[in-house]
Amino acid sequence: MLNQEIEFVHHKSPIGELIVGTFEGQLCLMDYRFRKQRSQIDRRLSKNLNASFTAKKNKIIQQTIVELDAFLTGQLKTFTVPIRPVGTPFQNQVWEQLLQIPYGQTMSYLELTKRLNLSPNDVRAVAGANGANAISVLIPCHRIIGKNGQLVGYAGGLAAKNKLLKLEKNNTLNPNELPLWS
């Protein structure tokens, strides 16, 4: 029997409809509502936290939405919401490394793999962990691109990824410079 609750709301944002959820006062979920891995991620959270999902807004959810809205309008670069990533030790290691990528910068899957001191053969495992991220935007998996500089894979779709990267580039470049993605 599940003893705890993951409180959540659906939130329509400029990058897509999201599910924002908390567990014990920490954000454990801010993910795209209609992504392909939705049920798999929800099961992982429920199982690992011994919790069921309950539609209910709380202070952390409200704070997350306020900060997300500020981020999406270029008014905020760093989130202050407490987060609780839920995954395997390997997934958590990858997500921790994602948190080290500065605002407005990108990195390839191969570069991320190297930063984790892994073999280039482990790039698919790193990509899989990146894709299992349930706290999108705050854990910036959108900053990972293909080694050729192209946009690849994102739970919210490439249009949402492009929008996030453009936003960050526009807020870090001089006004006379062009963003990398058009």
Residues designated catalytic: 141
CA angle 78, 84, 85 (to 5 degrees): 95
Positive or negative: CA dihedral 87, 68, 145, 102: negative
CA distance 86 to 17: 21
Q: CA 71: distance to chain centroid?
A: 13
Q: Give me Rg for the CA atoms of the chain.
A: 16
